[in-house]
Structures are given as structure tokens and as C-alpha cells.
Amino acid sequence: MPIDQPPWNDQLDLEAHVRRMVESIERGEEEPADLGAPAPAEQDSLVHPVELAVREILLEIGEDPERDGLARTPERMHRMWLELTCGYRVDPDRLINGAVFDVGYSEMVVIKGIPFYSLCEHHMLPFLGTAAVGYLPRGRVIGLSKIPRVVEMYARRLQVQERMTQQIADFLQQKLNPYGVGVVIEAEHLCLAMRGVQKGGATMVTSSVLGAFRTTKETRDEFMAHLERAVPRV
């Protein structure tokens, strides 16, 4: 069909797919299965503006968007970008889902080695690494699985590492009101490895410390000492 001025309506199957991605973050469901492409009749009548834009990019770089290997690339990229940025749609209250508990525990809680993948907002290339999160409870703790989901919620957006680090810390400080929070993220940025200075293997480390993690050296040192310990192998 001509694609200069195609009609466009919501692609319900794609919306359902992204909704399930969001729910996998909010409720910890298994990774959703690929729902597949729309039926041929739907493909003929629905062309999303994002897919048109991808086609124009392919033309701009000298490719043929009609050749076999690229014919469905605009559709695939549309789906991929929605998956990689579905953190915008996550409802923080649904993510926590009441999993904050009154517990008479006042020692530091640390979870480290949380893997994540995000997109640099400057070039929309990936950066990936691990996050470590710690907090000093004020009589309230959060379910263990919720902390990696908080990291995932902020990672699946267009990001800069500094802001993502701060967002995770602020979120836990707001929801738990602990004595303090510490977040450390270490990541490799493909915009540094693939373009510009092309320095693959370089990593960036960012931290955010709030409350006692900022004001009390002993608390901060304890957090950093936990990060230096090797993760036990099961």
C-alpha cells in the first residue's frame, strides 16, 4: 500500500504487549511472550508514525527499506522502543503493592549486583551495568523483590546515569522514610564505546547517599564495605 499518508489507529496487540511488560515489572510476572505481528489485514491498514520515521532513517542512510531483511524493521523497532521505555508507564503504587512491612529491624539492608539495561537519552544507545541499593530501616522494610523492580522501572526510560541513581534513592527515601539510603551504579555506556572516543570497557560509577548515609561517615563506610565483599556463590 502507499505509505506517504497512511491511516493510523492504536495497535491493540502492541498495546497489550507493552501492558504486559509493565505488569512484569509491577507484579513480577514472567517475561511476556512475543505476541507476534498484526494480521496481514491489520498491517495493511495500520502504519504508526514511529514506523514511518524508521523507514525515513533507513532511506537517509542509503538503505532500501523494502528489501527482505528490512521490510519489517520499522515494526520491530517500534515494538522494541516501547519495550525498552515501558518504565514510563509503571505505576509505583502497583509496583510496591503493599509490600512495605513494619519490622523491628534497624540494621542496614543491602542488595547488590542488580543487573539493568537502559538507554542514554543523548544518543539513545544502551548503557548497562549493575546497581547496589542499601537503606537503614526506621521500623519499615520493603519486600526484597521490589528493589530490583524499582531499578528496572527507572532503567526502562531514556536516562542519564546520574539522574537514574538519584531517582532510585529518592523513591526509597519517600516510600520507606528510612534513616538513610545509598545507591551506587556502575555501568558501561555504548555511546562511549561505539562512537566518539570509542573507549570500550570504560565504566562510569555514580552514587547517591541520603540521610545517615550522607551525614554519618560510619554508616557510609559500612555501606561501601558491603559493596566490596564478594557475592557468595550458591
Name the catalytic one among 23, 83, 186, 191.
191
Q: Is 120 a catalytic residue?
A: yes
Q: Which three cell numbers stand for residue 99?
A: 509490600
Q: Is 86 a catalytic residue?
A: no
Count of residues for the chain? 234
Separation of alpha carbons 203 and 189, rounded Å: 7
Name the catalytic one among 11, 159, 161, 173.
161
171: left (phi over 0), alpha (psi -120 to 50) or beta: alpha
Name the catalytic one among 29, 42, 122, 162.
122
Q: Is 121 a catalytic residue?
A: yes
With cell 524499582, the residue in question is 150
DSSP bridge pairs for 208: 183
The closest of 198, 197, 201, 223 to 210, measured between CA atoms, is 223
Q: Is 189 a catalytic residue?
A: yes
φ/ψ of 64, rounded to 5, equals -105, 105
Name the catalytic one among 51, 78, 120, 152.
120
Name the catalytic one among 123, 166, 188, 226.
123
User: 128 near 156, Cβ under 8 Å?
Assistant: no
Q: Is 161 a catalytic residue?
A: yes
| Ordered alpha helix ranges (H), the chain | 12-27, 40-45, 49-60, 73-84, 92-96, 146-155, 161-176, 190-194, 212-215, 217-228
Helix axes 161-176, 146-155, angle to 10 degrees: 140
Q: What is the three-class DSSP state of 86? A: helix
Active site positions, annotated = 120-123, 161, 189, 191
